[in-house]
């Protein structure tokens, strides 16, 4: 048989059905699509009007009007843009996936025109989204530069009609006859919400009006309604597209408040553009204070991504790593490849590039504030230090930069003052190699922790890890500037010069030999509560403390894990005693029940000193009262 070239045949009704019912995940998208078309139509009229003045001789106020009739169940979206003639209707609304807007753009490009308008349409399917909510759509349109109006009508049964009609003025009105289950979209608040979400930065005013006003509407109600209806629903100005020097601080602040629903001005405003491989414009804000939802797992909204002024998405982790979730703002890119439903981006690599550029920008702004204004940086760190530390904990790409931005209180500095890691390293005692820290629930607990006594006596400062996240951070910090991190609440620690360490070890081992029987009795008395009892090298003033094994999880971490419902392996800790302490000497001289009670009290006091609850508070109270009576 001879080879023949055939045309694909298509069941138009089926394809339309696919477009309408399978393309979009949400019905509400219809409004975004019809408004985008109206905006494109006005852009085209405005652009052509630059050279063909007679096209815009009616000198219109460019606008998009949405009028709803909840009795007739109709919505009309009207623009005074370019309009369509019979031929355009045929080509654009009569053929699926044919985009007049794309053709318009290409024609201008071929002509070599510059300053092209930023048109939205490109796929030629958005219009049909109307059928997700409407069972009949009627388009009444009159093209600028002609004198005839046409009406296009379809009920999505695979056919449409086109006929001549009358229309006041140029432009297009799309009338939707709503399906009963979609009538909620006629409500003013719903429309207003959708416009704010998807079309807030369309550059023409979008207004809402109600057609089915009750005949007996009171004068004051009418007045209020008309005032409301005169106000555009959208913000219109895409501030991020204007040069920074042309935007007032108050405009940025108002925009931030609109975006974040914060009532305070932003702490820092960051307008910037990305160039090179991916071009985009961004306007970011750092808030002054954390929002209520900062530490809630259900925070879903992050930066808003716009492509040509139309909202595409604001998934929390799309454009920022999770630890930067406090940053608010907008990213806009004209040439991001969208998929047909515009609900997703086609190229994840491009989004990743934007994400890393945005992250790096925020980091460099913070580095700059740190360098130029320590007081201001402290304000920021007080509000958001804990989230930065999440980054130091789990953002492996930026860990090094973030570690230079986090601060900790220290045993030597005044309460409320914090140090950068580099400050700590700069002030290390001579011969000190490691960075010492202690983890506790509060700064006070950390400051008073017995485990840090000996380090202090040897002239070493100790960082106090008392933000909730610090318990996790403690597990992931390895080295800073060549110095290892050492948790004083864990494992064996030694201080001072080689000779000092050696001498200290020898005298401890000697004392341990002498006190062997006593240490064994303490362990016997405490039973399974502790894994081991030994003499301490980290205590000077306190009688005892509890320490974990080198690789064990800290008690604070264990409490956090338990609180979040995770099972925590039972780790027995070591009770370290200060052989030189008078209390320990006293206990050594006791026996029988007196010995057991004193050991129990010693153990409980070690728990209390680190901020842990005692196992049996009633018994502790009783023992304490008895002791006081003595």
Q: Which residues bind ligand ADP (CB under 6 A)?
A: 33, 37-38, 41, 79, 81-82, 84, 92-93, 99-102, 121-127, 172
Nearest distance from C-beta of residue 228 to ligand ADP, angstroms: 25
Cα separation of 257 and 334, whole Å?
Answer: 25
In DSSP notation, 91-158 reads: IIISSTT--HHHHHHHHHHHHT--S-------SS-GGGGGGGTEEEEEEEEE-TT-S-EEEEEE-SSS
Token pair recorded at residue 112: 């070599």
In the three-class reduction of DSSP (H, G, I as helix; E, B as strand; rest coil), residue 396 is classed as coil
Nearer to ligand ADP, 81 or 450 (CB): 81
In DSSP notation, 523-572 reads: HHHHGGG-SEEEE-SS-SSSSEEEEB-TTSPPHHHHHHHHHTT------P
Nearer to ligand ADP, 130 or 464 (CB): 130
Cα separation of 217 and 222, whole Å?
Answer: 6
Nearer to ligand ADP, 170 or 408 (CB): 170
Among 574, 624, 576, 617, CA closest to 597: 624
Find out whether 524 and 530 touch, Cβ atoms under 8 Å. Answer: no
Nearest distance from C-beta of residue 159 to ligand ADP, angstroms: 17
CA 540 from centre of chain: 46
| CB atoms inside a 10 Å sphere around CB 191 | 19
3-state SS record for 155-208:
CCCCCEEEEEECCCCCEEEEEEEECHHHHHHHCHHHHHHHHHHHCCCCCCCEEE
Nearer to ligand ADP, 33 or 332 (CB): 33
Nearest distance from C-beta of residue 194 to ligand ADP, angstroms: 17
CA 608 from centre of chain: 38
Nearer to ligand ADP, 29 or 303 (CB): 29
Cα separation of 352 and 9, whole Å?
Answer: 40
Nearer to ligand ADP, 117 or 126 (CB): 126
Nearest distance from C-beta of residue 320 to ligand ADP, angstroms: 29
Nearest distance from C-beta of residue 161 to ligand ADP, angstroms: 17
Find out whether 602 and 621 touch, Cβ atoms under 8 Å. Answer: no
Cα separation of 42 and 63, whole Å?
Answer: 8
Nearer to ligand ADP, 95 or 397 (CB): 95
Nearest distance from C-beta of residue 471 to ligand ADP, angstroms: 52
Nearest distance from C-beta of residue 279 to ligand ADP, angstroms: 22
Nearest distance from C-beta of residue 371 to ligand ADP, angstroms: 48
In the numeric block, the tokens 């108002």 are attached to 254
Cα separation of 478 and 396, whole Å?
Answer: 12
In the three-class reduction of DSSP (H, G, I as helix; E, B as strand; rest coil), residue 480 is classed as strand
Nearer to ligand ADP, 102 or 242 (CB): 102
Nearest distance from C-beta of residue 330 to ligand ADP, angstroms: 23
- Tell me the residue number closest to ligand ADP, measured at CB: 100
Nearest distance from C-beta of residue 278 to ligand ADP, angstroms: 23
Nearest distance from C-beta of residue 387 to ligand ADP, angstroms: 40
| CB atoms inside a 10 Å sphere around CB 46 | 18
Nearer to ligand ADP, 91 or 457 (CB): 91
Nearer to ligand ADP, 152 or 603 (CB): 152
Nearest distance from C-beta of residue 68 to ligand ADP, angstroms: 18
Nearer to ligand ADP, 98 or 540 (CB): 98
Nearer to ligand ADP, 24 or 485 (CB): 24
Cα separation of 501 and 496, whole Å?
Answer: 6
């Amino acid at each position: 048989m001879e080879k023949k070239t055939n045309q694909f045949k298509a069941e138009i009704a089926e394809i339309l059905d696919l477009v309408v019912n399978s393309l979009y995940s949400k019905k509400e998208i219809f409004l975004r699509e019809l408004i985008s078309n109206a905006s494109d139509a006005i852009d085209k009229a405005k652009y052509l009007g630059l050279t063909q003045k007679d096209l815009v001789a009616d000198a219109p106020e460019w606008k998009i009007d949405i009028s709803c009739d909840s009795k007739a169940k109709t919505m009309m979206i009207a623009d005074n843009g370019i309009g369509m003639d019979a031929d355009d209707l045929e080509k654009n609304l009569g053929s699926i996936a044919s985009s007049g807007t794309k053709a318009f753009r290409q024609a201008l490009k071929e002509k070599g025109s510059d300053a092209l308008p930023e048109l939205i349409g490109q796929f030629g399917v958005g219009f049909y989204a109307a059928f997700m909510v409407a069972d009949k759509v009627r388009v009444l349109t009159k093209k600028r530069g002609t004198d005839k109006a046409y009406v296009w009508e379809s009920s999505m049964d695979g056919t449409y009609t086109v006929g001549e009609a009358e229309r006041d003025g140029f432009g297009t009105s799309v009338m939707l006859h709503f399906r009963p289950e979609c009538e909620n979209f006629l409500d003013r608040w719903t429309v207003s919400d959708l416009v704010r979400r998807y079309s807030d930065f369309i550059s023409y005013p979008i207004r809402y009006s109600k057609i089915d006003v009750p005949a007996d509407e009171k004068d004051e109600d009418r007045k209020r309604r008309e005032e409301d209806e005169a106000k555009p629903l959208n913000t219109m100005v895409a501030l991020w597209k204007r040069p920074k020097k042309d935007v007032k601080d108050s405009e940025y602040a108002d925009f931030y408040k609109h975006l974040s629903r914060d009532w305070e001005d932003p702490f820092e405003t960051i307008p910037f553009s990305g160039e090179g491989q991916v071009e985009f414009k961004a306007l970011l804000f750092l808030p002054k204070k954390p929002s209520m939802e900062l530490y809630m797992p259900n925070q879903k909204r992050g930066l808003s991504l716009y492509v040509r002024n139309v909202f595409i998405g604001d998934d929390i982790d799309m454009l920022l790593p999770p630890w930067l979730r406090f940053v608010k703002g907008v990213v806009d890119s004209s040439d991001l490849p969208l998929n047909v439903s515009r609900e997703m981006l086609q190229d994840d690599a491009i989004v990743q590039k934007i994400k890393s550029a945005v992250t790096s920008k925020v980091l460099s702004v913070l580095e700059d504030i740190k360098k130029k204004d320590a007081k201001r940086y402290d304000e920021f760190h007080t509000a958001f230090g804990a989230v930065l530390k999440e980054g130091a904990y789990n953002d492996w790409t930026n860990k090094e930069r973030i570690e230079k931005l986090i601060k900790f209180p220290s045993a030597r500095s005044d309460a409320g003052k914090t140090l950068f890691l580099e400050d700590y390293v700069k002030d290390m005692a001579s011969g000190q190699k490691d960075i010492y820290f202690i983890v506790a629930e509060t700064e006070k607990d950390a400051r008073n922790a017995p485990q840090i006594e000996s380090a202090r006596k040897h002239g070493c400062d100790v960082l106090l890890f008392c933000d909730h996240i610090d318990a996790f951070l403690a597990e992931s910090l390895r080295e800073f500037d060549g110095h290892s991190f050492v948790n004083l609440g864990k494992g064996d620690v030694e201080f001072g010069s080689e000779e000092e360490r050696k001498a200290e070890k020898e005298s401890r081992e000697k004392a341990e030999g002498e006190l062997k029987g006593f240490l064994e009795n303490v362990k016997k008395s405490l039973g399974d509560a502790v894994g081991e009892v030994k003499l301490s090298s980290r205590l000077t003033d306190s009688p005892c403390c509890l320490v974990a094994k080198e690789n064990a999880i800290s008690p604070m971490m264990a409490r956090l894990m338990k609180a979040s419902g995770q099972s925590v392996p039972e780790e027995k800790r070591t009770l370290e005693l200060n052989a030189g302490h008078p209390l320990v000497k006293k206990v050594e001289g006791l026996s029988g029940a007196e010995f057991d009670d004193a050991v129990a009290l010693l153990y409980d006091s070690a728990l209390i000193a680190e901020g842990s609850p005692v196992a049996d508070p009633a018994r502790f109270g009783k023992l304490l009262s008895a002791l006081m009576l003595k």
